[in-house]
Each structure stands twice: as C-alpha cells, then as structure tokens.
Structure 1
Amino acid sequence: MGVGTEAGRRTSPDPGDAFNSDCPGRTVLDHVCSRWGTLILLSLRERPARFYELRDTIGGISEKMLSQNLRTLTRDGLIHREVEPATPPKVTYSLTELGQELATPLEGLLEWVRARAIDVVKAQKRHDRQHKPAS
C-alpha cells in the first residue's frame, strides 16, 4: 500500500492490463471475445463477404445482432466496410490488417474448441451428475 505523495496519485490504466477494471482494452476484449464477434472475425479470415453471406455462414445469428456486431467491429478498426454505389448498395465486409492479425490467435481458439468440445461436454455431464440438486 502506497503512502505519502504516491498514495493519492492515480495513474492512467494500462491499455494492456485487462485485469484492471478501468482498462480500455476490456472493451476490445468484450467485442472480440463475444460469441458473435469471434465468429464474424473468423468467417472473414479467408475472404471478404456480403452481409447475407455472413448471416448464412454464422448459424443462429439474427440480422440485428450481425448488424450491431459489424458496426462495432468496424468502429474498432478490425473490419473494413466497402459500399459500392448501386441500387441497392452493394456492401462488402473484409478484415483490416489489424483484424487479420487478430484472426490468427482466434483460429487457435476455434481449433481448441473443435478438438476439445466433446471433453468439455463430458466434464459438464460429470459435474451435473455429481451436483444434482436434492429432491
């Protein structure tokens, strides 16, 4: 615990310390690690896509959630939104350089989930059997 002049001094949060509740990086973590954020970013890693292609690729996402997440990830600088003037306008989404950089570790996460999902489900069932509520 600090004393003297150091004790009252507040330093700005380290943008890389996500364990600090004031860390601006937590917002980024929320966007990137949300179920939809991760799946949107990973679905764009191979090639650009139109809105309907993303919707059809990501099972269970509503158009509203897709739209909100695309807007957020675009604002974060991870996705580029290109509008071609046409009637109706043709909008294509792609990863920015920052988004491409992020897709690499996210692919590792997805591979781990693919490889270990069955083990996690087994662990959940085992836990549920051991912790049944009393009747």
Structure 2
Amino acid sequence: MNPLEAKLKEKSIAPTAMRVVVLDFLLKQSAALSLTELELGMHRTDRVTLYRTIRTFEEHGLVHRIEDGSGVTKFAMCQTSCNVDGHHDLHIHFYCTQCKETHCLPKTHIPEVSLPSGYLALDTQLIVKGLCGSCNVAIT
C-alpha cells in the first residue's frame, strides 16, 4: 500500500483512485484552495466527484474549511489530531491582501476565548489579514 492510501485508511476513508489523486494534489499545495482552484489545478476533474471527495475529507478530519472573508470557502490539510469526531487544529489563518492566498499558521494557536455563561462555541476561526512574506518582500 502506498503512503497516500495509508493516509486515507488512517482516517477511515476508502482509497479510491480519485481520492488518492486529490490527496496528492492537496499535499503539494502551500496555500488553502477553493473548489474552483482545485478543479482548475487538477484538469479534467468531475466537479461533483471533487466536491464529494472534499466533503468526505472534511467529515473525516483530513481537510478543514476556511472562511477567510473573501467570500469563497477554501480548504487546507488538517493537523493529525483531527478526526471524524471533530477538528482540533485551532490555528490562525493568514489572508494576504496582495496575492489573495490564505495560509495556515499551525504554530500560531488561537487564544482561548472566555465566553459568558450560557454561551456555547461551536466553531472558532481567526483570520489575520495583511501581506504574506513574499508580497511584503516584493513591496519593500
């Protein structure tokens, strides 16, 4: 069994040919991608099958959804602690206003938020907007 199939099985995902191809593509990315970007980058991919694959990956804790304020949902690989029971990779996401890329910053954790009595947090996301390292260097 190849490493990609093993990674899928580790998350209880049946390793179909399409899932292996999508996983391979996602692992090679340095920034989060929208479904449209995935579709364009993968050439000749059935949109419905791609959407179902990403949804399966998300449900099993292999990828996480990012709402970066651009109006387009993006997806990135999860940390190993995520699973079918939930996503546990509470890190900051960085949206570059110049190149429009969204990056996970897994070493920068979201600080714990103290909520008033009776409140229940279901999801936490923190987006920092500015210039990524590449764009910042290009401007200076």
TM-score, structure 2 normalization: 0.44
More strand by share: 2
Q: How high is the TM-score relative to the length of structure 1?
A: 0.45
Larger radius of gyration between Structure 1 and Structure 2: 1
